[in-house]
Amino acid sequence: MKLLESVRAAIIALVANKLRSSLTMLGVIIGVGSIILLIALGSGARAEITRGIQGLGSDLILVVPFKLELGNFNIMEQGSPMLALNKFTPKTVEEIGRALGDRSRVSSEYQRSLYISYGKTRYFGIVIGAGYNEFDVRSVELGRGRFFSKSEEDAGRNVIVIGQTVAEALFPEEDPLGKSINIKGRKFRVVGVQEAKGRTLTFDEDALSWIPSTTAIKLFGTPNPTVIIAKATSTAAVEEEARVVRDLLGEKLATDEFSVITQSDVLGFAQDMTRILTYLLGGVAGISLLVGGIGIMNIMLVSVVERTREVGIRKAVGAKTRDVLLQFLVEAVILSLVGGAIGVLLAVLGALLYESLLHLQAQVTVWTIMLAFFFSMLVGVFFGVYPARKASQLDPIESLRYE
């Protein structure tokens, strides 16, 4: 019963000082809201990255002509040191195909970031020179038109398949099929438009365009493929076939002249990075919750001084030390819990606003809310103990004399 009386007395005291109570809760509101929202954004980013990587295909093996340091992956810029050290040749592609027992499961890519123009409209995107089997290897879905054929690739025809974003940028009110676009002064006829895939965080998967590999060799001025992609016979066979490719290239190239990457490699790295980012953001938000707790302690100490006479009266009529301690401690916990509840509400609204405006995912989970509530209560107890103890140890006679 004493606990209920303490809760009632604490609520009355807090309601009587609405402005002070609101300002005291502000730090907890910001802290709890920040923890939930930032962890939600980090979790959403991890989910988006995972979805994007898995969308590339769980059976793909990527071979790049340099020692890949994940996090420093930039192979598309003209003049890149990575491109200058490239020792891959069309013969390398043939050898990988023979090692895997099926040349049709291996495709090479020649990648550059270039301006594509139609009339006066220009678009800066990624142009990929690829073999006719590229679309099967990468499981690229076509929205309209067709892919280029083997005969068009062999003849080095100027045909192109563009992504949905490229089509919308260059042909906002026209059908792009059959139209001619310009790349580095050469005309390319649009034969197909990729089916829309959407974004993976900041990377637009619809900003890609494909031209035949033989055409790309002439256009880019290099016979060396930027990336070699192999499609494993099954997801279970990916690691084994990746080992076959590593062994093959290891006999011909130095260890720093190539890397063989599977989806699990990229996925593991991406998840590790986003997990660290989530923890970092949560830690930063936790600091604001700590500051909120200090604010609670400071205000409660002020409250103890202001209510010294009240404490004296309560002790004079029979209240024990633990009763005063409990009342002030309950006040601190109520401030933390109410502030935590408001912080949760604001975080959920912030996550919904983030998703609606930026069209990116934010995952607010039950465990995050429970964790935030637990820490807000812990903050109330931890920072409320000292003021409560100080109030409980006031001398009743001295307190009654206090003005």
Span 80-131, pLDDT tens digits = 445 556 888 889 989 999 999 888 899 999 999 999 999 889 999 999 999 8
Residue/partner pairs of 265-272 with CB below 8 Å, 24 or more apart: 265/70, 266/53, 266/70, 267/50, 267/53, 267/54, 269/70, 269/71, 270/46, 270/49, 270/50, 270/53, 271/46, 271/49, 271/50
**Side chain identity at 356, as an amino acid letter?**
S
Of 242, 222, 220, nearest in space to 231 by CA: 242
Percent of the chain surpassing pLDDT 90: 23
Who wins on pLDDT, 247 or 362?
247
Model pLDDT, residue 202: 58
**Side chain identity at 143, as an amino acid letter?**
G
pTM score above 0.85? no
User: ∠ at Cα 217 (85, 190), nearest 5°?
Assistant: 135
Whether residue 39 has pLDDT greater than 50: yes
State pLDDT tens for residues 261-278: 887 777 777 767 777 777
Per mean pLDDT, which range of 26-30, 207-211, 229-233 is the poorest? 26-30
- Residue 393: in which H helix or E strand, if any? none
Whether residue 190 has pLDDT greater than 90: yes
**Side chain identity at 197, as an amino acid letter?**
K
Separation CA 105–CA 330 (nearest Å): 68
Chain position carrying tokens 């609204």: 349
Separation CA 30–CA 343 (nearest Å): 6
Model pLDDT, residue 209: 94
Who wins on pLDDT, 300 or 352?
352
Model pLDDT, residue 69: 60
Give me the residue spans of the domains in the chain.
2-51+271-401, 60-231
**How confident is residue 55, by pLDDT bands cut at 50, 70 and 90?**
low
Q: How far is CA 23 from CA 29, 154, 225, 332, in A?
A: 10, 73, 62, 13
Who wins on pLDDT, 383 or 281?
383
State pLDDT tens for residues 141-188: 888 999 999 899 888 899 999 999 999 999 998 999 999 999 999 999
Separation CA 188–CA 211 (nearest Å): 9
Per mean pLDDT, which range of 49-58, 179-188, 383-392 is the poorest? 49-58
Give the single-character DSSP code of 204. E
Model pLDDT, residue 181: 95
Give the single-character DSSP code of 177. T
Whether residue 68 has pLDDT greater than 90: no
Separation CA 400–CA 403 (nearest Å): 8
* Tokens at 379, concatenated: 């903050």
Beta bridge partners of 228: 63, 108
- What is the overall mean pLDDT for the chain? 81
Mean pLDDT comparison of 147-156, 306-315, 393-402, highest-scoring range = 147-156
Model pLDDT, residue 400: 62
Model pLDDT, residue 57: 61
Mean pLDDT of 329-340: 83
Who wins on pLDDT, 165 or 364?
165
Model pLDDT, residue 146: 93
